[in-house]
Every structure is written in structure tokens, then in C-alpha cells.
Amino acid sequence: MTFEPDELGQSRAVLAETLKMLRKKIGNFESGKVQALSRTANIEWQDVWSQRRTGLEKKQNELAEFERSSTEFRYFLPSMVTGLLATPEYVRASLAHVPGDQSKAIARKLERQSVLYDTPKSFTFILTEQAVRWPFLPAPAMAVQVDRLVSLSLLPNIQIGVIPLEGHLPISPLNTFTVYDARVATVETHTGAMVFRDHRDISAYLKEFSAYEEHASFGEVARERLSGWAHRFRS
């Protein structure tokens, strides 16, 4: 089979265009694969069973490192009081379901609370009414826990906001989450925690936090609500 010169030129042009398109498709595929690998590298899953095997104090040390290296903290707490705000009795109760001796983890958790008094750091905690009032302890101990929230809210570098179960709230909380500066977000589930370092995930949680912040009460209004809830535990 033979080709005329002009036909041969056309065939070469078609082949060149085909190779160009093929290289582009391969490049797009490789780029997508790299992006997927990069995203996977920026997400970490920590299951509770592994944490228990290695010791819960190791998790406390990891959180302490986040706290040491960060200056701005945002906590959204829809169901429980976080360890930094908890009384010793509340901390012990939060680990009571974990088998074995957890005294080291409890001690480390309480030690971490000293970061709240590092005034160059700023903390914003948003708690739902359910998180504050869930009867995790006997009523007298819950009153002491709520009193602690009131006291901590008076520190100059701490804002504690509460979202009451009243009015209209057009957003639905799913998980407890924390954002450290704008570089790491941790999200807690019943069976573990996700650690996100991708800017898209962090931006999403910052946006969600801002939405809750708009519906929360702070300052004297929050303290009045908290004091009222503490009074109910005492009555």
C-alpha cells in the first residue's frame, strides 16, 4: 500500500494530534492521581481501639502538642463538655467506660488545662444547651461543672458561647470538632477521630463554626443562662 505525499502529510498530522491528545489525557490522569494522593495524605483516621492499645495518654500528648503549637482555638461541642473545661469528676466519668487503669490519661488530661491560662492564646468554645445540661454526673456535681464554665468565661482570652434549645436554628450539628489556628481540624465520632490538614476541609469547618457563632450567646448573657442551669441542678 502506498501513500501520496499529501496523504502522508495528513496522516502524520493526524498521528501528531492523536499523540498530543493522548499525552494530555495521561497528564490529566497523573495530575488527578497526585491530587488524590495528596488529599489522602492530609487526612488521618484514629480509631479508639488503636488508641486504647497504645494508651490513651498518648492521645493526650498529641492534643497537648496541638495546643502548644497553636494560638487560636475554636471548639464546637454539641453533646459533651470538652476536657479543657471539665472538672476532675467529669474527666474521670468521661473515661469510666474504658477498660483498664486510665489514671495516667486522666492526669494528663487535667494537666492540659493549664494551657487555658496561657494568655497569648485565644479560645472560643461553643456549647449547645444539651452539652451543658446532659446529666453526665449526679446533679450536685453537674452544678459544679456548670459553675466552672461560668468562672472560665471570665478569663480574658476565653470566650464561652452557649446555644439554647429555643428559637429557630437552621443548621444541624453532626459532630464535635476543633480547629487549631487555620491549619488543623479534628472531628470526633463515636469510634474515633479524623484529623484534617487539607485547606478545603479546614475552611469548611471554619465556615460551619462561624454559623454556630452567630446563634450563640456570649458574655453576661451566656453567664446568666449557665448560672440558671446550675441553679436547676441544685434545686
Tens of pLDDT along the chain (235 residues) come to: 554 555 545 566 666 676 677 677 666 655 554 454 445 668 999 898 888 888 888 889 999 999 999 999 999 999 999 999 999 999 999 999 888 888 999 999 999 999 999 999 999 999 999 999 999 999 999 999 999 999 999 999 999 999 999 988 888 888 999 999 999 999 999 889 999 999 999 999 999 999 999 999 999 999 999 999 999 999 9
Instruction: Note the pLDDT of residue 34.
Output: 46
Beta-carbon-side half-sphere exposure of residue 136 (alpha carbons within 13 Å): 25
Encoded amino acid at 94, one letter: S
Instruction: Note the pLDDT of residue 7.
Output: 53
**CA-to-CA distance for 142 and 204, rounded, in angstroms?**
33
Residue 201's SS3 state is helix
Residues 6+ apart with CB under 8 A from 230: 142, 143, 146, 147, 150
**CA-to-CA distance for 92 and 95, rounded, in angstroms?**
5
CATH topology of domain 43-234: Endonuclease; Chain A (3.30.870)
Pairing of strands 158-163, 122-128: parallel
Instruction: Note the pLDDT of residue 14.
Output: 65
Beta-carbon-side half-sphere exposure of residue 227 (alpha carbons within 13 Å): 9
**CA-to-CA distance for 64 and 58, rounded, in angstroms?**
10
One DSSP character per residue, 80-98 reads: S--GGG--HHHHHHHTTTS
Question: Strand runs (DSSP E) across 15-64, as ranges?
Answer: 43-47
Instruction: Note the pLDDT of residue 2.
Output: 54
Instruction: Note the pLDDT of residue 46.
Output: 87
